[in-house]
Amino acid sequence: MQSQQGILEVLEETPLQKFHWKTMFVAGMGFFTDAYDLFIIGVVTTLLGTQWNLSKAEIGLLNATSLIAAALGAVIFGRLADRFGRKKLYGLEVAILTVGALLSATSQNFEQLLIWRFIVGMGIGGDYSTSATIMSEFSNRKNRGRLVTTVFSMQGFGLLVGPLVASALLWSGISHDVVWRIMLAIGAIPAAAVIYLRRKIQETPRFLVEVKQDAASAANVVSELVHQDVTEKNEVSSTPFLKQSSFWFRLLGTAGSWFFLDIAFYGNSISSTLILHSIAPNASLIHATLLSAAIFLIFALPGYWISAFSVDRIGRKKIQFFGFLVMTLSFACIAWIPNLTAYVMPFVIIYGISYFFTEFGPNTTTFVVPAEVFPTEIRAFANGISAGAGKIGAFLGALVVPILLAHFSLPGTEGIMAIVSVLGMLTTLLIPEFKERSLSDQTSMSGSDNAAHSKNVHLFV
């Protein structure tokens, strides 16, 4: 596959350029919206619990339904992206998210809001499987981890903006019936802003070469991106392959670690107001929301960006394993140190440390790894399965943490999260390290499937 690698080698070896940052921004805005929505729904359901007289089960469903829908959306969009191409689908997922967010704000009852939240989740899930794949396939080899992590790091800004917007609206004196609608509608703005830009992104050269066998189009795209004249000619060649056994171990590692991570991350994040209320029962909703914002700003946000600038140097697997380890220790401290939850500041510090290493570690690396360790023809689908497993974990976390808090209190709940984090460490051992490796190291599930019609593309730059 000498010539196919030649075209893609130009893309992988080019230094960081404007198109890298443009792709990163366009892809990242979806994750800003995702994170904003992650936080804001907890505040919305807190308000609606009183206004609509919702049961705990109904609140749990509203908090979690978009997550189970995201699992479905990730798998569906991932499969379609591998079948029809990344470009044909890109932008549709944020359009779905935009419509769902706007319609959520018009809901008149529990059933309507549940339906629109499901639509929002479908869009979020589609964003996970398409954006990570597109950013990975447009990235250069040395900075791929940084670029893909930066896309996901936009989540950090959403986690910060969510509580700030909620606090400002709650402080404004506007009727709470109007406030929650504004909160949900705002989620449509960043998603809508990038619909057009996503539709204009070109098909990835890697998909064109390795799936469509269209080296000429790939050469044209690469020429435009790197501002060099890239041409090709065809020859017959064999194709590297990923063994079936390796595929299943990798999928178990990527899907399993993402599943366990999201149980802890989404369980703690969506229920953050409940958790903070349990240590400061006299605090108002505004004060609990501002405390959440402070934790995200001081601990979580730096974690994302330190990970982005170290993942290509330290490696994905090491960062992920160490992140799970510190999460385990932090949750265990909350569970086992006597009376820790009776003191706000010591609790906030340990809880914040868990957030830092969640973002520095598995919350970013579980997004990066599935976008690079699978062959191109199934990359988006395998990525979607992994993200879908994560969202099932998120659904379970959002659903059960309020119940665990009611039955086992905060120390017992975080003790369970420590066990979950240990399982995340174990599944991390199954993933390969792809630091500074070419995506062409494995390009198909079976060498015999594609060898007959593979092409070699000689490169002239």
Domain locations in the chain as residue ranges: 2-433
- Residue 285 structure tokens: 């909703």
Cα separation, 253 vs 259, in Å, equals 10
Greater pLDDT, 224 or 291? 224
| Percentage, residues of the chain above pLDDT 90 | 67
DSSP secondary structure code for residue 1 in this structure: -
pLDDT of residue 241: 65
Cα separation, 53 vs 64, in Å, equals 18
pLDDT in tens, 221-254: 999 999 888 776 543 334 456 778 889 999 999 9
Cα separation, 377 vs 379, in Å, equals 6
The winner for highest mean pLDDT among 54-63, 123-132, 156-165 is 123-132
What is the identity of the amino acid at 142? K
What is the phi/psi pair of residue 236, to 5°? -90, 140
Pairing label, strands 455-457, 234-236? antiparallel
pLDDT of residue 455: 40
pLDDT of residue 102: 96
pLDDT in tens, 196-209: 999 999 999 999 99
Q: Flag whether pLDDT at 380 surpasses 60.
A: yes
Q: Could you count the other beta carbons within 10 Å of the beta carbon of residue 383?
A: 32
pLDDT in tens, 68-79: 999 999 999 999
Cα separation, 255 vs 95, in Å, equals 26
Task: Give domain 2-433's CATH number out of 3.40.440.10, 3.30.70.20, 3.40.50.1820, 1.20.1250.20.
Answer: 1.20.1250.20
Q: Flag whether pLDDT at 427 surpasses 90.
A: yes
Cα separation, 281 vs 271, in Å, equals 14
Q: Flag whether pLDDT at 322 surpasses 70.
A: yes
Cα separation, 343 vs 422, in Å, equals 26
Cα separation, 83 vs 81, in Å, equals 5
Query: Which of 27-31, 48-52, 266-270, 425-429 has the weakest average pLDDT?
Result: 266-270
pLDDT in tens, 252-290: 999 999 999 999 998 988 788 788 878 878 778 788 778
pLDDT of residue 456: 39
Q: Flag whether pLDDT at 295 surpasses 80.
A: yes
pLDDT of residue 237: 37
- Per the listing, tokens 């706000």 go with 344
Q: Flag whether pLDDT at 449 surpasses 50.
A: no
**Residue 371: pLDDT band by 50, 70, 90 thresholds?**
very high
Query: Which of 393-402, 403-412, 444-453 has the weakest average pLDDT?
Result: 444-453
